[in-house]
Structure 1
Amino acid sequence: MDQKEERLVVSVVCGQAKQNPDWLAIEWPLTVIVNGRHYITLLASPSHLEELAVGFAFNKGLLTATGDIKSLVLKADGRQAELELAGKGVSAADLAAIACPTAVTDGFKDKGKTLSPDEIVGLMQEFSTSSALFRETGAVHAAALAGEGILVFREDVARHNAIDKLAGNLILAERDASSLCLLTSGRISAEVVRKAFRMGIGLLISRSAPTSLGVQMAEELGMTLVGFAREQRFNIYCNPWRVAI
C-alpha cells in the first residue's frame, strides 16, 4: 500500500514563486471494530495496520496477550480492522494500572536494559537514518524497539500510532520487551511513558524532549528517560542507572 502521494505545490523562495512536485505522507482512516461494534476510527499511515489495531487495543486494556485475540481481519481495502476478542476483559486492578500505573505498582526499579553512552549514540544514529518516508515527506513520526541494534522500526503520521504499532508487533510475535528499549522521534509525554510501561519497557530514548508529567511518572515507575539524543549528546531526566556513565 502506498505511503505517499505526489502533488504540485507552489514554492516561494526569496519572493520568487514556481511550481514543483512534492511528496505528501498519506493519512488513512482505520476504523477499529471490536466484537462487532465500532470502537474508534484512527487516522494513520497505511502500513502495519493489523499491528496498529492490536497495539491500540492492548494499550487501551482491551486485551493482554495473543491468546485474547480470537480473530483479526482487515476489510474495506484496509480501512477497517475487525477484532474478535475473548470476552474475559481485564480486571479493575488492570484498568487502574493502565490509567495510572504509578498508583498500583513499584514499576521497573530493578529491571530493564542498560546502555553505554556510545550505544545510545549509535542506536540513535541508526534510528535517524532509517526513515526514508520522513526524508521524502517530513510528515511522519518514527518509533523503534532496540536491543543490540534496531529490531523493529515503525513510522506513522501520528506518534502514538507508531508506538501502538510496536505494541501490536510485541503481542502478535509474542515477544518479551523487558530487555529492549524504546526509541521515538516525538516528545515523551505521560501517555508515551504509560504505553512503554504497559509494553514492559524501562528505557525510553527520544530525539525530542519529555514533558514534566512524563518525567514525573517515569521517575515514580523507575523508568529511565533520555531526551534530546542527537549526534554525540543527550540528557538523562530520571533514573540514570540504566546509562553506564
Structure 2
Amino acid sequence: MSNTNNIKLMAFDLDGTLTQHKSKLEHSNKLVLLELSKKYKLLIVGAGQCMRIFNQMDRFPIDIIGNYGMQYGRYNEKTETLDIIENITLPCDKEDIEKRVTYLREKYGYTYFIGDNVEYHPSGCLTFPILGTKALLSDKLAFDPTREKRRKIYNDVVNVFSDYEVFIGGSSSFDLAPKPYNKYYALDKYCKENGYSHNEVIYAGDDYGIGGNDESVYKSDFGFICVDDYRDLYENVRHLL
C-alpha cells in the first residue's frame, strides 16, 4: 500500500492471520497488536461468534465483529470483557436447506457422511459438512487441504444457495451466511456507523482466494495486507508501526 499516513483503523481476520487456526493468540503477536494500538483503532472482523473470538484472542482488549456482521461486541475497559451490542439471528427453512444440500451431495457423489447433513448455527448461518458433522478430524483434515475439490464445485454451490454468501471453510466444508452478510458488508457498515472512510482503513487477512471469507474485502477498495502465515504478522505490518 503506497500511502499509509491517513490510516486510522486496522481491521483483522483471526485464524491464520493473528493466530494458528483455533489456537490462542501467541505472545509475539499480542505485542505487535499492542504496538499498533498506540497508533490505530483495532478491530477484528470474524466469521465466528464474538465471545469465542474474544476468548481465542486471550481476552485482548479489542472490539469484535462476529458472524460476518450479524454480531458486534465492544470491549469494556472497566469490566475487561466484551459487551455484545448487536446480535442478529435469522430463521431458515431447514427442510428446504436439507433438500438443497442433498441435491448437491447426489450430483457430486458425496452421499456418504457421518452425523448430520447440515450444521445449523444460532445466528442463521449454516455449514455444509461434506463428510458430515461427526466425521473424524483426521478424515476432515485429509479430505481437501488444498481446497481443489471444493473449488471445482464452488460455483454450483453458490448458484444453489443464491440467497447466501458461500465460503470454502476449513478442509472439508462450505460455510454459508445469509445475504448480505460477509466481511466487506460488516466492515463497510462499521465504517459508516463510526465515521471512517474506506481510505482510512486497512485490513489484514489470509483467506483472500476464491471462496475465501476475506475475498470480499480483498476485492474491494479497502486497503488489504495479505498475511500468508500468522507467524509473519510483524513483517507484514512493520511499515505501519
TM-score, reference length from structure 2: 0.25
More strand by share: 1
TM-score, reference length from structure 1: 0.25
Higher relative contact order (CA 8 A, sep 6+): 2
